[in-house]
A = this chain, B = another copy of it.
């Protein structure tokens, strides 16, 4: 890699981003948090439709709502919503095409989340993206619909926790080699020996992070919760089965 690329400061920030699980008590100031949220607002989206919303919390607000600390003791949290409810109040963009609607909304909300993540890094603020609010480990949509009073066509996707990282030089969770994820022209079948090696690295990483912790166990935990999450999500996407707010 040439120096002009290697020494690019922004690229360094992007590549040094880590998911942080220990935060200091230093609060993220209002104007810094506002700049992070602004990056979400400025993200690109399908036909600029901005199918996202962000529900924001400081620690007091989070505790009042969820009766525990922000996960990992972050000092700010944002629940990212894939939101086509707002758009539907003014435009009939999506006739009955719930899966396309869901997919587009998820893409856009995720773009906004990543833009916020990098904006935070630019300001020295670390973060982690969690599937839920730290209680169940996987999309807990029914719970959040009630807690956040969400109307139909709004799907909670993740919680982003923000704060200042307690430790530097966190290890990099093992990435697949570039030749397993980048293909020229047509899809290339994966090399199962490489995948197997990656699983071993993941297992080692999990063990190093916390004794008794296991990647295999984490995957199993997720798998066990999938059925419930599938039912909840199906109800939301296809049946607009949210009667909580009515």
Contact = CB atoms under 8 A, between A and B. Distances in A.
Interface string A221-245: 0110011011001100100000001
Contacts of A154: 187
A99 interface: yes
A25 to B, nearest CB: 21
Contacts of A107: 106, 110, 157-158
A128 to B, nearest CB: 8
B9 A10 contact: yes
B97 A185 contact: no
A192 B31 CA distance: 28
Interface in A200-222: 202, 215, 218-219, 222
Interface stretch (A67-75, A87-95, A162-170): A87-95
Contact of A44 (B129, B189, B218): B129
Given A1-B34, A43-B114, A55 B86 contact: no
A66 B53 CA distance: 36
A117 interface: yes
A196 B15 contact: no
Interface residues on A, range: 35 or more
A121, A173, A215: most-surrounded residue (chain B CB, <10 A): A173
Contacts of A192: 89-90
Interface string A29-64: 001101101111111101110101111110001001
B219 A91 contact: yes
Contacts of A34: 1
Nearest to A99: B233
Nearest to A11: B122
Interface in A155-181: 157-158, 172-176, 178, 180-181
A56, A93, A103: most-surrounded residue (chain B CB, <10 A): A103
10 contacts: A5-B35, A11-B35, A11-B123, A15-B42, A54-B182, A57-B185, A65-B185, A98-B230, A99-B233, A103-B106
